[in-house]
Structure 1
Amino acid sequence: MDNVKKGVNTICTHTGELEDKTFKGAVSPLYMSTSYAFEDVDVKRYPRYFNTPNQEALCKKLAALEHTEAALIFGSGMAAISTALMSFLQAGDHIVLQQTLYGGTYNFVVTQLEKYGIQYSFTEGWTVADFQREIRPNTKVVYLETPSNPLLTITDMTGVVELSRKNKILSIIDNTFASPINQNPHDFGVDVVLHSATKYMGGHSDICAGVVTGSQEIMDQVFQTAICFGGSLSDYTVWLLERSIKTMGIRVRAQNENAMKMATYLDNKSEVEKVYYPGLETHPDHELAKSQMNGFGGMLSFELNPDIDVSLFFQHLKLIKPSMSLAGIESTMLSPTKTSHALMSPEDRKKQGIKDSLIRFSLGIEEMDDLTKDIEQALEQVKNLTVHA
């Protein structure tokens, strides 16, 4: 069975699990020790070296899910992102980054890289031509995010990979919004695949973690940086994450279904000015998304009409939680200008098209009828308050 290609739910459930040889339990045992023997052992284990039994087991599962040779698990998505970038960049190097990307990544780049003598530039858009225009003789990395946070732009992975290889540049992608269930960038040739495992891998809004995956050669290089930065994850959280990933395939597909229905519903609402969701045929990159995604994801964004107060709308939601982060089994909304992209200047947010009226919507697994009723009543409350003001 080991040499047979397994389905994604089988990988989620079984790959990398530890055998309970003492009591024959059905789930992986948890090894909490931070101190292991060094004499007469095959592996000298230490949590910061990413090689405790639970860490090693989970990394096998993560690599299998992203169709890569190896993986490392980190204490947060930003720990994964920053470690990966600093593994392949040094003084005098240049990196090209997609314009539309997570605010935390943007903040790391603009506040930290210059300290190390690393140059950077952002693309004007997210097409292959946009990336090509920014490449310099000292460019060592191109960084993309598709679907992007929060506008769900879609980048042509094959085109960017071809451009990168032609110029002997490493390609890195943040695959958080898609998850390995909806997209496997390594299959398209992307060298390094990153995740905030806090999101769809954790899935229950109670775990903070990050993932880097790639070839063994690439991950050996990431490891050398990672042991210096110390962004390892506690074994208890590693164990919880391994447990959570078992249901990721089922959860994400349910969230995909809800997001598609919700995008269609919002697209027909008079109170909504615009909906951003790659599953809609009106999305400018719908066909591209179809060609490189297995599902369109559980995330969407929408803009309310200017006459509707976003804060009041949030206040009157009863079921959907106005809450930071995303990808939990419960539906949540947030304002990117106040949360995920708050560290960006208003001018930079404007360049990306992030307005104050924009709402990022993470679909959970609730019944669609209950979600739409909650939106309807919140909109009615806001309109009534506006009329009587």
Structure 2
Amino acid sequence: MNNPSSSSAARPLQPATLCIHAGTHIDPATRGACSPIFPSTAYAYPNATNENIYPRYFNAPNQRVIARKLAALEQGEAALVFGSGMAAISTLLFAVLNPGDHAVFQADLYGGTHHFVTKELTRFGVRISFGRDAAELAAAVRPDTRLIYVESPSNPLLRCIDLAAIATIGRAKGILTAVDNTFATPINQNPLTLGLDVVLHSATKYLNGHSDLNAGAVISTSAVIQRVTASAVNHGGMLDAHACGQLERGLKTLSLRVRQHNENAAEIARFLQGHPAVERVNYPGLVDHPTHAIAARQMRGFGGMLSFELRDPGQVDNLLSRLRIIFPALSLGGVESLICVPSRTSHRTLSIVERREAGISEGLLRLSVGLEEAADLIADLEQALVKQ
């Protein structure tokens, strides 16, 4: 097994190097540079380690390759890879919460997470509270609170929460803290180094990066991952070997891709900020974004996601129909630029009142900035906005 992240060299390896080399399985028979794909669901027993190897146990070779690579990138001890982001999130929550426990969640979560928490988790007797920032989350903590769960930057308003402050709250009260790091990626932000206990990803997005795979991940200490694994084997949300091989290939270019996503999004955010048809731009890299100072403290780059609100919400469909390069579609984090209307897609399961409270209007558009030339993307937006 090749594991450069544990090298004895004094200088730690940088993320771009870890993306390519960390966790790679070097097959002793061929010495190939790429991890082989092991599709087997039947492994010999007894074996050298006397371990029951089975994909649903999250211990098959290709699953372990991804786990090692993600643990290295997020500077954690261990990781698990799942069949989707929601599989990772739901398994973590079921693993660490019991009936009668209380958990505190960030109010402006991804719609799928919010829906699961309010409609599914509560059915099992877990009590929940919400808060919009570190102060509100701290105020919501009770003696029976077992988890604080946040997302930074948030979907779709790109609000950033003070992760170090959340970690301090958790440590002081003995509460597990978790963060969805999907929008930031481990290239732009490492929450574990800020004191958080658990990091989650929808690997469908930037980690894979090519809009052709569903996956999720949880990264933490070995003790927490053992606890999550005990629940995960019962829920069965693992990722198969072929998908793991595809995800490993995507991860090798993560650092390079994210750098370009960062640059393109910053240019487009500045363009949209100055356009008369746009009421507001939500991008943490803009100095007037309400959480810019927090983002600047804890992020190395501001990411490839932004959202913007049209002055006339009635022009949303006209804008979408006139775009030539930017593709109206669900999901995010791929090489191509994608745009959607959160009130109709990612947050459609929220009620009108819940969307209003979350700041998600009918005129809000979420843009996942891809790797095309920024000038071409700006020209596409300009021609679509001018014709409104």
**What's the counterpart of residue 53 of structure 1?**
61
Distance 1:167 1:7 in 2: 34
Give the drift of 1:100.
1.0
User: Once structures 1 and 2 are overlaid, which stretch shifts more, 140-149 or 40-49?
Assistant: 40-49
Q: Report whether the alignment pairs 1:362 with 2:368.
A: yes
Unaligned runs of 5+ in 1: 384-389
Alignment TM-score, normalising by the size of structure 2: 0.96
**What's the counterpart of residue 104 of structure 1?**
112
> What pairs up with 1:214-293 in 2 under 5 angstroms?
214-293=220-299
Match of 1:40 among 40, 44, 47: 47
Count matched residues. 380
Q: Report whether the alignment pairs 1:160 with 2:179.
A: no
Letter in 2 for 1:140: R
Give the drift of 1:39.
1.9
Q: Report whether the alignment pairs 1:114 with 2:119.
A: no
Match of 2:321 among 315, 325, 333: 315
**What's the counterpart of residue 152 of structure 2?**
146
Aligned in 2, Cα 1:217/1:312: closer, same or farther, shift over 3 Å? same
Give the drift of 1:308.
4.9
Secondary structure at the counterpart of residue 217 of structure 2 = strand
> What pairs up with 1:200-211 in 2 under 5 angstroms?
200-211=206-217
Does the Cα contact within 8 Å between 2:313 and 2:363 map onto a contact in 1?
A: no
**What's the counterpart of residue 387 of structure 1?**
none
Match of 1:17 among 20, 24, 30: 24
Distance 2:47 2:298 in 1: 48
Give the drift of 1:40.
3.3
Match of 1:300 among 306, 326, 330: 306
Q: Report whether the alignment pairs 1:6 with 2:6.
A: no
Post-superposition Cα deviations, 1:171-206, rounded to whole Å, max 9, x if no partner, equal 010000000000000001100100000001010000
Q: Report whether the alignment pairs 1:74 with 2:89.
A: no
Distance 2:216 2:24 in 1: 19
Give the drift of 1:215.
0.3
Give the drift of 1:44.
2.1
Give the drift of 1:373.
1.1
Secondary structure at the counterpart of residue 309 of structure 1 = helix
Give the drift of 1:97.
0.4
Distance 1:47 1:307 in 2: 48
Q: Report whether the alignment pairs 1:325 with 2:331.
A: yes
Distance 2:257 2:47 in 1: 44
**What's the counterpart of residue 139 of structure 2?**
133
Distance 1:153 1:288 in 2: 9
Distance 1:253 1:117 in 2: 43
Post-superposition Cα deviations, 1:101-138, rounded to whole Å, max 9, x if no partner, equal 10000000111122211100111x22x21112211111
Instruction: Please identify runs of 4+ aligned residues in structure 1 that moved more than 2 A.
Output: 20-26
Q: Report whether the alignment pairs 1:335 with 2:341.
A: yes
Distance 1:224 1:39 in 2: 22
Alignment TM-score, normalising by the size of structure 1: 0.96
Distance 1:10 1:328 in 2: 21
Give the drift of 1:307.
5.8
